[in-house]
Amino acid sequence: EKLLEIRDLHAGVEGKEILKGLNLLVNKGEVHVILGPNGSGKSTLMNVIMGHPKYTVTSEEMQFAGEDMKELKTFERARRGLFLSFQTPEEIPGITVENMIRTARQTITGQKVKILPFRKELKATMQELKMKPEYAQRYMNVGFSGGEKKRNEILQLLMLQPKLALLDETDSGLDVDAVQIVSEGVARFHNEENSCLIITHNTRILEKLKVDRVHVLMDGRIVEEGGAELIDEINRRGFTHILDAQNAAK
Ligand code: ADP
Ligand code: MG
Ligand code: MG
């Protein structure tokens, strides 16, 4: 069952083309990984899927759960079950973690979320992630360490239960223990009813997940695809080896 289907995506920012004809299909229940060197367009892809207004999309066919996404704003995409965890989570002074997540849930479900049951659920989920309960009343990411911010991203993921989780280097800059928690959190989130699209340079986050498909993004195009074995191959031989192999075959 198709969940996200992208065909011939061209997109850029400030007059510069970054994505140069990209195709991607993620089915329900699958875990996909995107690998690629810095600057290849990975974060751009995630932002474009979310409908970030900063990016100019010049050609796009994007279907999500059978619906054309082209005209939809970011919050409308969130409502339909898309969630993006940013590479660098934002600090939002004045809004507590609890209020932020509760408001997001209200926006997504279109229904009022009662405070007491929500608070109880939040507390239990924070406990699973080994977050101190008092963080619920702190301002979003303000004064959080790198690891705490990333844990906070996983907390949102578990509380909002999207259909497709887009994780942009959620594990970068974390120590071993924090990577373990993020990895367990993603594994706890994932089931056959939802899908994950993960950008990572750190294969440890994938240890608890069964990866269905790996895509290698270079210079705005997917240059190679395969199964989980591609991750080890790239870790051993690097990205340029893929291009060398393709050039040799030409
Ligand atoms: P990745 O996530 O793979 O490291 P990005 O999607 O962040 O790559 O960036 C892809 C390319 O687009 C890079 O060359 C980057 O410099 C450029 N880019 C990203 N954002 C902007 C921007 N706001 N203005 C100009 N260029 C940008
Ligand atoms: Mg980068
Ligand atoms: Mg990036």
Task: Write down the ipTM of this complex.
Answer: 0.94
Dist CA 237 CA 221 (whole Å): 20
Task: State pLDDT tens for residues 186-244.
Answer: 999 999 999 999 998 777 778 888 999 999 999 999 999 999 989 888 888 888 887 78
The predicted structure's pLDDT at residue 239? 86
Pocket around ligand 1 at a 6 A CB cut-off: 13-14, 16, 18, 36, 38-44
Dist CA 181 CA 184 (whole Å): 5
| Local structure of 246: helix, strand or coil | helix
Which residues form the domain of 104?
2-236
- Dihedral, CA of residue 132, residue 138, residue 141 and residue 147, to nearest 10: -10
Please report whether residue 246 resides in a domain: no
Dist CA 51 CA 6 (whole Å): 13
Choose the residue to mutate in 13, 88, 201, 216 for probing ligand 1, maximizing ligand atoms within 8 Å of C-beta: 13
What's the DSSP call for residue 85?
Answer: E
Please report whether residue 129 resides in a domain: yes
- CB under 8 Å to 55, separation ≥6 — which residues? 11, 12, 13, 18, 44, 47, 48
Please report whether residue 72 resides in a domain: yes
Percent of the chain with pLDDT over 90: 72
User: Separation of 199 CA from ligand 2 center, angstroms?
Assistant: 10
- Joined tokens for residue 225: 């695809």
User: Separation of 110 CA from ligand 2 center, angstroms?
Assistant: 34
Please report whether residue 115 resides in a domain: yes
Identity (one letter) of the amino acid at 219? D
Q: What is the tally of structural domains in the chain?
A: 1
Please report whether residue 223 resides in a domain: yes
Task: State pLDDT tens for residues 77-117.
Answer: 999 999 999 878 889 999 999 999 999 999 999 999 999 99
User: Separation of 66 CA from ligand 2 center, angstroms?
Assistant: 30
Q: Is the pLDDT of residue 56 over 90?
A: yes
Closest among 89, 189, 185, 177 to 140, alpha carbons compared: 89
Please report whether residue 103 resides in a domain: yes
Please report whether residue 242 resides in a domain: no
Dist CA 77 CA 165 (whole Å): 12
- The model carries a pTM of 0.93
